[in-house]
Structure 1
Amino acid sequence: MRPSSSPSEPLGLFDGVLAAGPIRAATGDAAWLRAMLDVEAALARAGGTPPEVAEEIRAAANRLDIAALGSAAAESGNPVVPLVRALRAAVSPAASQHVHRGATSQDILDSAAMLIAREALGLILADMAVASAAAAHLAEAHRDTPVAARTLLQQALPTTFGLVAAGWLTALDSAADRLAAVRATGLAVQLGGAAGTLAAFDSPSIVDRFAAELGLPAPALPWHTDRTRIADLAGALGTACGVIGKVAGDVVLYAQTEVGELAEGQPGGSSSMPHKRNPVAAISARAGAARAPGLVATLLGSMGHEHQRAAGAWHAEWAPFTALLRATGSAAQWLARCLPYLRADTARMRANLDLTGGALLAERVSAALAPKVGASEAHDLVREAVASGRPLAEALAGHLDPDQLASLLDPASYVGAAPALTDRALKRHGEQA
């Protein structure tokens, strides 16, 4: 199922940024209607309806008015009731008697939600794979490129840009693994009938046939009021957004004018400042990701469904469920547009390493001085040298041999195990590919 945008769903003012890529169509009203009709047709086939009758049910989408269904949903509290009424009127009399037989509204909407999620997750995973591949390329290309590591937004020690990109890579891969697991086993069909007992069906085997028709797992029990599947999906989407937001946030910080170590391949402009080259893709990825926590919280907060049918909590899921899939899909799409075209300015990275006159090598120099003057005295000497504002090579010239001091102050030679750690991340990524 790969629905496309329809004339009834014009591009919203903010959709170009916050619903970027194919995720918009995959989670739009037309997609929901198609998914619900696919569920109704699958239910008919599972119940032994002739294939041509089931196909007539599935093909009724073009004869149904989404706006009218939405308006009529207010009468019953959900859109399935008017959908069933309109569907029975839209198909032949022979087909109408097979519409919605034995099911309840939540069976249709929850199963449709699983189809929507499966499609959306496929799109999200594809974009995350693009971003991961780009991060792997950056990690490999810059395995030995020194750059300042920053803690609390201040220069700390040298690291490599390869290790930075490797950190992005492993986080993206881990988030994608979780999403893939949910997509593979967590998106089960819903079928229980009016109270979850399957009383209107001849045998519980209807669930297995129904699941097979939709290509989704069959649950052990109807899960009308057990919302762990929704919670697991929400958690995985929220985690993915957290990772995307971190990676995109790093790009934004590295692209600052005063830092200038990274630049997007297709930066955006400003309405008032001709000189601006804004990292629009990273900014937009962060915007999508930032929406996730509140949406996740709403879905988790709605888990307390009363008895065998929730009085409001189920209804509260619909909009944030769709919005969370859309926000994650948009964020992943933007990151996939960002990382493959990212440009690293290695000269600027080196210049920034030299910006403090060797201060970020203070730990190393202090350790080299300690055998000569004692650990405490070495610490104080280096601290005073840094505080003086003079380059360490000049401030400590009388305490260490010039050649030794020059070697100690080479940031490229004090990156620890960064290259080896990068190799480990790349090896693991390659094994998973």
Structure 2
Amino acid sequence: MLTDGLFSDPELRALMGAEAQLSTMGRVEAALARAQGMRGIIPADSADRIAKVARSIALDPTALVASAARAGIPAQAFVAALKDACGTDQAFVHYGATSQDIQDSALVLQLREALMVLEERLAELIEELRSKADAHADLVLPARTRFQIAAPTTLGAKIAVWRAPLLRHLERLSELRPRLLNLSLHGAAGTGAAFGPDAAALRADVARDLGLGAPEVPWHAARDAIAELGGWLSLVTGSLGKIGADLILLGQSEVGEIHAGTGGGSSTMPQKCNPVAAEALVSIARLNAGASGTLQGSLVHAQERDGSALAVEWEILPDMLIRTGAALRLALDLSRSLTPNPRRIAETFAADRGAMLAEAAGFYLARHMPRAEAQRIVATALSDMASDSRETLTSALRRLQPGHDWTNILAPEQNTGPGNDINMGGEAT
């Protein structure tokens, strides 16, 4: 699609694509054959030949589309092709397994690789934001609540807010992995009966070969780990979408306090520099939020296997991973190019005339008089400002409450609070 540059990612698309799926299915079948050969479940020489073919077989994904559609599960089409390729050993291919065992185990291998890429990008983004936060720890700019100027903050503190959930997402990923990266090998109805009395030991052998966990209970119809992964992907892109939304607002024409990215032009308005990458972060966040909700529907998985529930995963999950890869790539590019515009920030402060320091003025006066009286004086100062465009909060309070160093008291850099002392390089707390 022509929008792939924004919403897709070549590396993640390759890891979650059909060729990777076939390759990981081959790895699972090879591990199964090796383990069964060592345990004498199938002839050792047949196991060796099957493993070699399974690891090296090169199939055209398009040639399997029709058979996968008939079977209702891609693994079945792969197994049929593998049996054909194994000739006289085909009776021992896929011995005792069910197609979903192969499909799910292969998916987990794909996910393991994909999550390594996402983790690396996430860690790189976290480090880049730490560097930016440190660099701009003392740069004062207006904070805004509900789209209105509220009080002074610093760009470093704002970036620290962006960064904090990303640190937590790394923690969540490490917690998620043991629940997700597990072999599926329990046979047709999840009982493992076809593998014989040593089914658990066989499962452990195959899992060890593939570097996966070996749960005792089948997860054919228990898809909570997949749904949890979808939730994690949505959390990551949601946090990146927040960064995108902030950059859009801070970079809009009448604000222009922060610039990030190269921007996109208009076909008819040459003066424009559209925040394309930041907008894409917001779009991806919304797409993954909706997809996560749809993926939760796969938890309603009837009996021991439900093709309609599985199909939801097949259609939803790969795109969520690919979009998350795209979002992390875009966010990293934006963070690297993030640049404040001190002149526009100063203009915002000048146009505000100190009104954003009203809270600070009120709390300062409350140390010298009843709070209600302090609030009344500040309200009067704001009213005077509203009626006279030359008035500032400092000048109004100097007249209403002389004897105080209002210039220093209301200096924005003196009123950024302890948020300005955040350890930008530290861990989230």
Return the TM-score normalized by structure 2.
0.90
Show the counterpart of 2:246: 250
Tell me if the contact between 1:286 and 1:331 (Cα under 8 Å) persists in the aligned partners: no
SS at match of 2:281: helix
- Paired position in structure 2 for 1:212: 208
CA shift digits 1:93-118 (9 cap, x unpaired): 14433322111111111111111211
1:165 matches 2:165: no
Counterpart Cα distance in 2 of 1:265 and 1:386: 38
The residue aligned with 1:4 is none
Instruction: Say whether 1:135 aligns with 2:129.
Output: yes
Spell out the pairing of 1:53-92 with structure 2 (5 A cutoff): 53-61=50-58, 64-89=59-84, 91-92=85-86
Q: Counterpart in 2 of 1:264?
A: 260
Match of 2:26 among 37, 47, 67: 37
Tell me, in whole angstroms, the C-alpha distance in 1 between the residues paired with 2:4 and 2:140: 39
Deviation at 1:165, TM superposition (A): 0.9
**Residue in structure 2 matching 1:19, options 8, 20, 25:** 8
CA distances 1:6-32 after superposition (whole Å, capped 9, x unpaired): xxxxxx332221113411211122222
The answer (yes or no) to whether the contact 2:355–2:382 under 8 Å persists in 1 is yes
Could you tell me how far 1:185 is from its partner in structure 2?
4.7
Label 1:351 to 1:55 Cα distance change in 2 as closer, same or farther (>3 A): farther
Q: Distance in 2 between matches of 1:152 and 1:106?
A: 49
Contact kept? 1:264, 1:342, Cα under 8 Å: yes
Secondary structure of 1:302 counterpart:
helix
Partner of 1:404: 405
8 Å CA contact 1:357–1:391 kept in 2: the answer is yes
> Shift in Å at residue 411 of structure 1?
0.5
Residues 56 and 95 of structure 1 are in contact (CA less than 8 Å); yes or no, is this contact kept in structure 2? no
CA contact (8 A) 1:57 1:95 kept: no
In 2, the alpha carbon distance for the partners of 1:33 and 1:45 equals 18
Q: Is the 8 Å Cα contact of residues 121 and 183 (structure 1) preserved in structure 2?
A: no
Structure 1 residues 317-342: Cα deviation after superposition (integer angstroms, max 9, x where no partner): 21111121112122112112211221
Number of equivalences: 414
> What is the aligned counterpart of 1:294 among 290, 293, 303?
290
- Contact 1:158 / 1:353 at 8 angstroms: preserved in 2? no
Q: Does 1:324 find its partner at 2:320?
A: yes
Instruction: Report the Cα distance in structure 1 between the residues aligned to 2:52 and 2:267, rounded to whole angstroms.
Output: 52
1:306 aligned residue (288, 302, 309) = 302
| Equivalent residues of 2:234, 2:288 under 8 A apart | yes
Residue identity in the other structure for 1:84: V
Match of 2:41 in 1: none
The answer (yes or no) to whether the contact 2:299–2:309 under 8 Å persists in 1 is yes
- Tell me the CA shift for residue 140 of structure 1: 0.8
Aligned equivalents of 1:46, 1:17: Cα separation in 2: 44
Inter-partner Cα distance in structure 2 for 1:250 and 1:72: 48
Gaps of 5+ in 2: 38-43
> Relative to 1, partners in 2 of residues 1:207 and 1:414: Cα closer, same or farther, differing over 3 Å?
same
Aligned equivalent of 2:40: none
Change in 2 beyond 3 A, CA 1:147/1:375: same
Q: Is the 8 A contact 1:264 1:341 kept in 2?
A: yes
CA distance in 2, matches of 1:52, 1:341: 54
Question: What fraction of aligned residue pairs are identical, expressed as a percent?
Answer: 36
Which one is further off, 375-384 or 117-126?
A: 375-384
* Bigger mean CA deviation after superposition, 159-168 or 13-22: 13-22
Give the TM-score taking structure 1 as reference length: 0.90
Match of 1:229 among 208, 219, 225: 225
Higher deviation after alignment, 148-157 or 372-381 = 372-381
Secondary structure of the structure 1 residue equivalent to 2:352: coil
CA distance in 1, matches of 2:116, 2:378: 54
Shift of 1:262: 1.4
Deviation of the 1:127 alpha carbon: 1.3
